Amino acid sequence: MKFKDVALVFLSIEQTSSRLEITRLLAELLKKVSPEDARDLSYLVLGTLNPPYISTQFAIAQKTALKVVARVTDLSEVEIDARVKKIGDIGSVVQEFSWYGEKDLTVHQVFQHLKVLESVEGTGSQEIKIAQLSDLLKSLTPLGAKYILRVILGTLRLGFSDMTLIDALSWMEAGDKSLRKDLEHAYTVCADSGLIAYELKKGGIEAIRSMHIQVGIPIRPAAAERLENAAAIIEKIGSCVVQPKLDGFRLQVHVDKTGKEPIIRFFSRNLLDMSAMFPEFVEICKNFPVKTFIADCEAIVYDPNTGSYLPFQETVKRKRKHGIEEMVSELPLQLNMFDLLYIDGQGLLHKEHHIRRALLEKFYDDYVSHAHSIKPQLKTEQLSLLPSSDKQDADGVTTQTLQIIQEIQVATAQQLEHYFLKEISAGLEGVVVKKDDSFYQAGKRNFNWIKLKYQATSKLEDSIDVVILGYYPGKGKRAGFGIGAFLVGIYNESLNVFQTVAKIGTGLTDHEWVAMKKLCDEHKSVHQPKDVVCAKELYPTVWVEPVKVCEVIADEITISPLHTAGKTNSHLGFALRFPRFVKHRSDKSPYQTTTVQELLSMHKRE
């Protein structure tokens, strides 16, 4: 298929906000292409060249894109920049020009050009990229160039998530949503939309039904529901197990030692590969006494002198691309395993929790024994990476780099409340309660897992994850910051839109306000994003594309005549009363915010 035809479909998608119509357009597009093109398009429509766990990085900034467009259009960079400031998007500026794509490239050819462009690095790489991108754009129609520029700059937001793509694949194959369950399951255990599209096109639904866990491709993580207190939890699920809720990086650890060299990967909650950030964990995993292994874990910075955990603000400092080795010693991390998903070729998602737990404990015991056996062969710097029973510092303090998160059985609300308060007093944010006979329901949020958190400064029993939608200018002292409050919302999956829930003006330090404006400006939009629903009275001075998530707390959830979260023809929306910023959630995507249904449940409990 020619890319110029794909660009026309992109334009149609961009011009509609109907999820059903978007699904139909995607389905028609995918139906016309080969398995290989379906794979490539499944990445491109989401603005990337890779599955979600592999970051797409062109290292091309807006200034470089201006040079490219100036070269393609024979205008000066100043003229192009002026047009961008007026229209708000360099892709839309390119669309205004008129030329004929010299080579009439296919989808596959465009995709390969982009892969080559992404791989260019080293001395002189920027000039090479400018030349290559200029040649590529000249080979496309102006409309095609518009969308390629947006892909490269990371601004291609066609207004839908990966699950809309899964729906489209069902419509492509069956003409309705009847295959959604099979496709979603395959995507849940093997989170690669391109691979799903390729297998469906090539082998039909039977190929999808035979897909299974692959070490090195992340499993979509299970999530917890929330209830307001211990009594409500016991009433809901009865006797259960409880684990401490750590406030760190949730990591899915993959180990494959079947080849010549071990492959070790660490995936974040939103499926990003963060392997390079945790060299100390790599050394540990190399010594796992298994061939293949996948576990759900939490990594958190701790004080080796006291054994206590540090706040999330310290843990998040470990999320970096440079200076990683220095931070290993400055901010040591502990890897806490809390669920076993796969081991030595055996998938465990459909095993009950108590079975998975027993296998995890056996694995850890085997690991400790193995560590003892290889200890004489280890170098001095490797000794600190052994489990707590294997090494003590000179002052007698135990080093704990790897451990299983503790777990206890409770049968009554009193027992659960006692354990909850014990963890709170130890500085943790709460507990996670689990049904002992439950399966690991990947990609699902339900009452198999329930989180119970405590916010001492808020009447609302839990925090809320929201997406930033825009900001307002500051007054007084904040006038110098250029920002005094920001608008946030939550994702409504049924409508495929983001709905407003609060204006936030507290909870940030002066430094954080400056950083917030910088973050917002990196994603600002001249126009209201088409998937944001907002009352005119709340329009921000600067719109922000809904891509950045933060955590907030509030006194309560109230009914609002203005905010659109949960608003229907027969019901007013919800809003947060006295909302305060807590922290950024770079580990979550905008589609992982608190849902409208969760907000409704929390409101009913107040």
Reduced to 3 states (helix: H, G, I; strand: E, B; else coil), residue 249 is: strand
> Do residues 7 and 143 both lie within one domain?
yes
Task: Answer whether residue 309 shows pLDDT above 90.
Answer: no
**In this predicted structure, what is the pLDDT of residue 327?**
80
pLDDT in tens, 53-79: 998 889 999 999 999 999 988 889 999
Answer yes or no: are the C-beta atoms of 463 and 476 closer than 8 Å.
Answer: no
Cα 80 to Cα 226: distance, rounded to the nearest angstrom: 50
> Do residues 249 and 394 both lie within one domain?
yes
Structure tokens that stand for 12 in this block: 């149609």
Answer yes or no: are the C-beta atoms of 187 and 40 closer than 8 Å.
Answer: no
Average pLDDT, the chain: 88
Q: Beta-strand (E) ranges in 484-598?
A: 485-492, 497-504, 524-525, 532-533, 542-544, 549-553, 556-560, 573-577, 580-584
What percent of the chain is modeled with pLDDT above 90? 61
> Do residues 361 and 486 both lie within one domain?
no
**In this predicted structure, what is the pLDDT of residue 570?**
86
Residues facing 50 on adjacent strands: none
Residues facing 411 on adjacent strands: none
Please check whether residue 531 lies inside any domain of the structure.
yes
CATH for 543: 2.40.50.140
Residues facing 2 on adjacent strands: 106
Cα 493 to Cα 498: distance, rounded to the nearest angstrom: 9
Cα 43 to Cα 158: distance, rounded to the nearest angstrom: 12
- The mean-pLDDT minimum among 200-204, 303-307, 485-489 falls in 303-307
Residue type, 499: Q
> Do residues 33 and 104 both lie within one domain?
yes
Cα 267 to Cα 587: distance, rounded to the nearest angstrom: 10
Please check whether residue 599 lies inside any domain of the structure.
yes
Nearest to 384, CA basis, from 399, 364, 367, 366: 399
In the block, tokens 């091309």 appear at: 60
Relative to beta strand 223-226, strand 445-453 is parallel
Residue with the bigger pLDDT between 104 and 422: it is: 422
Nearest to 372, CA basis, from 289, 297, 281, 292: 289
Query: Which of the listed residues 375, 405, 435 is the one where a domain comes to its end?
Result: 405
pLDDT bin (cut points 50, 70, 90) of residue 49 is very high
- The mean-pLDDT minimum among 238-242, 449-453, 467-471 falls in 449-453
Residue type, 12: S
Task: Answer whether residue 372 shows pLDDT above 90.
Answer: no
Relative to beta strand 402-404, strand 333-343 is parallel
Answer yes or no: are the C-beta atoms of 189 and 212 closer than 8 Å.
Answer: yes
Read off the pTM: 0.83
**In this predicted structure, what is the pLDDT of residue 453?**
82
What percent of the chain is modeled with pLDDT above 70? 93
> Do residues 541 and 395 both lie within one domain?
no
Print the domain residue range for 65.
3-153
pLDDT bin (cut points 50, 70, 90) of residue 374 is low
DSSP state of 308: P
Nearest to 352, CA basis, from 208, 240, 238, 185: 240
**In this predicted structure, what is the pLDDT of residue 456?**
43
Highest mean pLDDT among 205-219, 357-371, 482-496, 557-571 belongs to 205-219
**In this predicted structure, what is the pLDDT of residue 389?**
43
Nearest to 440, CA basis, from 343, 363, 350, 347: 350
Q: Mean pLDDT, to the nearest integer, of 44-49?
A: 94
Residue with the bigger pLDDT between 593 and 252: it is: 252
Nearest to 139, CA basis, from 119, 154, 117: 117
> Do residues 43 and 138 both lie within one domain?
yes
Q: Mean pLDDT, to the nearest integer, of 125-129?
A: 93
pLDDT in tens, 521-569: 999 988 899 899 999 999 999 999 999 999 998 888 888 889 999 998 8
Structural element, H or E, at residue 468: strand 464-472
Cα 172 to Cα 88: distance, rounded to the nearest angstrom: 35
> Of 4, 146, 201, 245, which is the active-site residue?
245
Please check whether residue 30 lies inside any domain of the structure.
yes
Q: How many CA atoms lie within 13 A of 477 on its CB side?
A: 6
Percent helix, strand and coil across the chain, each rounded to 5?
A: 40, 20, 35
Is 245 known to be catalytic? yes
Cα 407 to Cα 449: distance, rounded to the nearest angstrom: 13
**In this predicted structure, what is the pLDDT of residue 395?**
33
Number of Cβ within 10 Å of residue 389's Cβ equals 11
Query: Which of the listed residues 153, 182, 213 is the one where a domain comes to its end?
Result: 153
Reduced to 3 states (helix: H, G, I; strand: E, B; else coil), residue 293 is: strand
Please check whether residue 574 lies inside any domain of the structure.
yes
Structural element, H or E, at residue 250: strand 249-256
Please check whether residue 514 lies inside any domain of the structure.
yes
State the total domains in the chain: 3
Cα 274 to Cα 251: distance, rounded to the nearest angstrom: 9
pLDDT bin (cut points 50, 70, 90) of residue 379 is very low
CA distances 245 to 21, 242, 411, 428, Å, are 41, 9, 19, 7
Residue type, 171: W
Relative to beta strand 556-560, strand 497-504 is unpaired
Query: Which of the listed residues 366, 381, 405 is the one where a domain comes to its end?
Result: 405
Answer yes or no: are the C-beta atoms of 449 and 224 closer than 8 Å.
Answer: yes
> Do residues 395 and 468 both lie within one domain?
no
Cα 184 to Cα 522: distance, rounded to the nearest angstrom: 33
Answer yes or no: are the C-beta atoms of 471 and 541 closer than 8 Å.
Answer: yes
pLDDT in tens, 315-363: 878 877 777 877 887 888 899 999 999 999 999 999 999 999 999 999 9
Please check whether residue 366 lies inside any domain of the structure.
yes
Task: Answer whether residue 185 shows pLDDT above 50.
Answer: yes
- The mean-pLDDT minimum among 4-13, 32-41, 80-89, 317-326 falls in 317-326
> Do residues 394 and 501 both lie within one domain?
no
Highest mean pLDDT among 302-306, 388-392, 416-420 belongs to 416-420
DSSP state of 401: S
Residue with the bigger pLDDT between 595 and 389: it is: 595
Task: Answer whether residue 391 shows pLDDT above 80.
Answer: no
Please check whether residue 453 lies inside any domain of the structure.
no
Listing DSSP states for 218-282 in one string gives PPPPPEEEE-SSHHHHHHHH-SEEEEE---SEEEEEEEE-SSSS-EEEEE-TT--B-GGG-HHHH
**In this predicted structure, what is the pLDDT of residue 102?**
61
Handedness of CA 314, 318, 321, 327 (dihedral sign): positive
Relative to beta strand 430-434, strand 240-244 is antiparallel
Q: How many CA atoms lie within 13 A of 332 on its CB side?
A: 16
pLDDT in tens, 266-300: 999 989 898 888 888 998 899 899 999 999 999 99
pLDDT bin (cut points 50, 70, 90) of residue 390 is very low
Residues facing 576 on adjacent strands: 557
H-helix segments, 139-179: 142-153, 162-174
pLDDT bin (cut points 50, 70, 90) of residue 388 is very low
Answer yes or no: are the C-beta atoms of 479 and 554 closer than 8 Å.
Answer: no
**In this predicted structure, what is the pLDDT of residue 101?**
61
**In this predicted structure, what is the pLDDT of residue 363?**
95
> Do residues 356 and 493 both lie within one domain?
no
- The mean-pLDDT minimum among 372-381, 441-450, 588-597 falls in 372-381
Nearest to 247, CA basis, from 28, 511, 451, 390: 451
**In this predicted structure, what is the pLDDT of residue 314?**
82
Task: Answer whether residue 463 shows pLDDT above 90.
Answer: no
Reduced to 3 states (helix: H, G, I; strand: E, B; else coil), residue 255 is: strand
> Do residues 255 and 401 both lie within one domain?
yes
CATH for 285: 3.30.470.30
pLDDT bin (cut points 50, 70, 90) of residue 304 is confident
> Do residues 338 and 468 both lie within one domain?
no
**In this predicted structure, what is the pLDDT of residue 457?**
40
Task: Answer whether residue 99 shows pLDDT above 80.
Answer: no
Please check whether residue 186 lies inside any domain of the structure.
no
Answer yes or no: are the C-beta atoms of 242 and 433 closer than 8 Å.
Answer: yes
